[in-house]
Amino acid sequence: MTRETSLVTTQWVEEHAHDDNVVLIEVDEDTTAYDKGHIAGAIKLDWTTDLQDQVRRDFVNKRQFEELLSERGVANDDTVVLYGGNNNWFAAYAYWYFTLYGHADVKLMDGGRKKWELDSRPLTDEVPSREKTSYTATEQDRSIRAFRDDTVAAIGTQNLIDVRSPDEYAGRLLAPAHLPQEQAQRAGHVPTSLNVPWSKNCNDDGTFKSDEDLKALYAEVGIDDSKDTIALCRIGERSSLTWFVLKELLGHQNVKNYDGSWTEYGSLVGVPIALGDEPGTAEDA
């Protein structure tokens, strides 16, 4: 994957949103954002109800994903273009899902909903109707998904990239600052994880920085290209964005997203935690 195959501009979307094989999908943290206005022709996926199992903590499984996309009228050979608020956090999360379940052609709209709005492009409240399809997903591609044991095993041996804000990484905040802070679990970070806030990947308008700038960013923090990488955040959506940058834009081979992230890791009994701004060492672990 490259920037050319995995990203489209807001201008491209305005020109191609109504092409026959293009499905525009909005995915937002604020699941009501779509209802207040969206890009003409776009359908909505709700990350809390559509993409999560409603009983246990896990994604929708292969069958549930197939049922969801069939019901929403997405076909296997469609070009899926995802966009959303929060600089595409949840759109990147959905991109990772589509990749996990083997969708062939999926793209992000660079800059997401914010860039579209700052461009003063139009929004509508008209909800399109799409014919049902018969969608077939592949088995989950586990090569892009990390679990808690992978993360513990990666301490001191792999690249661990914690993409939360510096205050969350250090343990001074427990959640992004637009959310209430009360949480049950411990604060801090996985020892030896490097803090590269997701926001360093993006310009203020939400678009991704150039490949050169992104390469320099990860070189500067000392990412080891010869090692596998696990990205994590609080619930796995911001780290999807960093996964997208490392895997799809920069072409790193073995990059996994740890979707359990800090809300799982910080609640585990007995695992090592580092506090403060420094990564900490494997010896402390």
Partner 1 sequence: MCGATQGGLSLDGIDVAKEAVVQGQVLRDGEPVASAYVRLLDRTGEFTAEVPTSATGHFRFFAGNGEWTLRTLAPKADPVDRKVHAQVGEVAEVSISV
For 49-54, the CB contacts below 8 A with 24+ separation are 51/27, 51/93, 51/94, 51/97
Q: What is the DSSP string of 9-78?
A: -HHHHHHHTTSTTEEEEEE-SSTTHHHH-B-TT-EEE-TTTTSB-SSSSSB--HHHHHHHHHHHT--TTS
Give the nearer residue to partner 1 in terms of CB position, either 197 or 260.
Answer: 197
Distance CA 138, CA 143 (A): 13
Give the nearer residue to partner 1 in terms of CB position, either 27 or 74.
27
Footprint of partner 1 on residues 22-51 (CB under 8 A)?
30, 33, 36
User: Which tokens in the block code for residue 283?
Assistant: 């010896």
**CB of 33 or CB of 214, closer to partner 1:** 33
Give yes or no for residue 182 binding partner 1 (CB under 8 A). yes
Per DSSP, what are the bridge partners of residue 189? Answer: 274
Single-letter amino acid code for the residue at 70: S
Out of 104, 127, 177, 221, point to the residue binding partner 1 (CB under 8 A).
177
Q: Using the rule CB under 8 A, is 233 a contact of partner 1?
A: no
Site string for partner 1, 61-90 (x = CB under 8 A): ------------------------xxx---
Name residues contacting partner 1, limited to 254-273 (CB under 8 A).
Answer: none
Question: What amino acid positions are annotated as catalytic residues?
Answer: 233
| List of residues contacting partner 1 (CB under 8 A) | 30, 33, 36, 85-87, 114, 117-120, 165-167, 172-173, 175-182, 197, 199-200, 204-205
